[in-house]
């Protein structure tokens, strides 16, 4: 199993550009989430999904869109990048509420200039 | 909303000695889960240990153990016989047992430095 994969590992965007961060898992996990990590703030939940076709907002959803058309994939879209979105982004997945461990991807470092 | 506080931005420990990282949390719920995650320089998030709030016994995993004080809302991590490979950022995290989505609330993290 590859586990949770994220692409790209690094990205530099100009203000106003759009892009999609990719996340995929091959463990047949129901739940998937996106977090952002900023210095001094830990990780904060952006959006999450409890199954294909079902998504919901987390703590810091503004400026981001998600969709979940398949169990395996959970892309995160930045429609118009802003410097405040400079961060490290992590995707995570888990079977569901019964199994507690979340498996994290390796992260994407995004810089918006 | 729940919050998690890690009051120690940085800690240092001598190799082979013991160190304790602090974590407090705020919640009105009685059923929840607590976690410690390790993030080495590789950036990978690694689960170190977990604790179910309904269990009175403190969790242990080899050299890692927790001191869970439910009434005080405290969840500290003790690392015994510290090794150079323990150097990392450590995050405390909370998850409600009532909410769907396996949503974690993280503290700001503690950088642990291990001196040889």
- Predicted confidence at residue B99, as pLDDT, reads 83
Which pair of structure tokens corresponds to residue A93?
């997945």
**In this complex, do A42 and B107 lie within 8 Å of one another by their Cβ atoms?**
yes
Task: Say how far apart CA B17 and CA B33 lie, in whole Å.
Answer: 28
Helix/strand number for chain A, H first, E second = 0, 11
- Predicted confidence at residue B101, as pLDDT, reads 80
For residue range B17-46, list pLDDT tens digits in order.
999 999 999 999 999 999 999 999 999 999
Nearest-neighbour CA in chain A from B115: distance (Å): 23
Nearest-by-CA chain A residue for B42:
A106
Task: Say how far apart CA B17 and CA B20 lie, in whole Å.
Answer: 10
Task: Say how far apart CA B5 and CA B8 lie, in whole Å.
Answer: 9
Task: Say how far apart CA B116 and CA B114 lie, in whole Å.
Answer: 7
A78 touches chain B (CB under 8 A): no
Task: Say how far apart CA B23 and CA A30 lie, in whole Å.
Answer: 30
Contacts of B107 in chain A (CB under 8 A): 42
The pLDDT > 70 percentage for chain A reads: 96
A56 touches chain B (CB under 8 A): yes
Contacts of B44 in chain A (CB under 8 A): 104, 106-107
Could you tell me if A27 and A103 are in contact, meaning their C-beta atoms sit under 8 angstroms apart? yes
Cα-to-chain-centroid distance, residue B40: 14
**In this complex, do B101 and A56 lie within 8 Å of one another by their Cβ atoms?**
yes
pLDDT band of A40, cuts 50, 70, 90: confident
- Predicted confidence at residue A99, as pLDDT, reads 57
Contacts of B105 in chain A (CB under 8 A): 45, 59
Residues of B with CB under 8 A from a CB of A: 4, 6, 9, 33, 35, 42-45, 47, 50, 91, 93, 95, 97, 100-109
Contacts 24+ apart (CB under 8 A), A94-98: A94/A29, A94/A30, A94/A31, A94/B102, A95/A27, A95/A29, A95/A30, A95/A31, A96/A29, A96/A30, A96/A31, A96/A50, A96/B102, A97/A31, A97/B97, A97/B100, A97/B102
Nearest-neighbour CA in chain B from A107: distance (Å): 7
Substitution target in B45, B88, B108, B111 with the highest count of A β-carbons within 10 Å is B45
- Predicted confidence at residue A97, as pLDDT, reads 67
- Predicted confidence at residue A14, as pLDDT, reads 98
Q: Phi/psi of residue A70, each to 5°? A: -130, 165
pLDDT band of A98, cuts 50, 70, 90: low
For chain B (116 residues), the mean pLDDT of every run of 10, in chain order, is: 95 98 96 96 95 94 97 98 98 91 93 97
Task: Say how far apart CA B50 and CA B92 lie, in whole Å.
Answer: 10
A48 touches chain B (CB under 8 A): yes
Substitution target in B88, B101, B103 with the highest count of A β-carbons within 10 Å is B101
Task: Say how far apart CA B26 and CA A26 lie, in whole Å.
Answer: 35
Strands (E), A17-66: 19-25, 31-38, 42-51, 54-57, 64-66
Task: Say how far apart CA B41 and CA B67 lie, in whole Å.
Answer: 26
DSSP A80: S
């Amino acid at each position: 199993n590859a586990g949770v994969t994220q692409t790209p590992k690094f990205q530099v965007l100009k203000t106003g550009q759009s892009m999609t961060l990719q996340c995929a898992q091959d463990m047949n996990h129901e739940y998937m989430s996106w977090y952002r990590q900023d210095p001094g703030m830990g990780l904060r939940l952006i959006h999450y999904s409890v199954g294909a076709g079902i998504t919901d907002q987390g703590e810091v959803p503004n400026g981001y869109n998600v969709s979940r058309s398949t169990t395996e994939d959970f892309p995160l879209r930045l429609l118009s990048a802003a410097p405040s979105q400079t961060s490290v982004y992590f995707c995570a997945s888990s079977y569901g509420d019964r199994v507690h461990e979340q498996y994290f991807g390796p992260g994407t470092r995004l810089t918006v200039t | 909303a729940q919050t998690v506080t890690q009051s120690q931005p940085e800690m240092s420990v001598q190799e082979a000695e013991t160190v304790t990282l602090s974590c407090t949390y705020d919640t009105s719920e009685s059923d929840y889960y607590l976690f410690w995650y390790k993030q080495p320089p590789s950036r990978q998030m690694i689960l170190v240990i977990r604790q179910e709030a309904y269990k009175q016994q403190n969790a242990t995993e080899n050299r890692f153990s927790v001191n869970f004080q439910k009434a005080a809302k405290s969840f500290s991590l003790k690392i015994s016989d510290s090794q150079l490979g323990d150097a990392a950022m450590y995050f405390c995290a909370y998850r409600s047992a009532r909410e769907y989505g396996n949503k974690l609330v993280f503290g700001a993290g503690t950088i642990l430095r291990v001196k040889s």
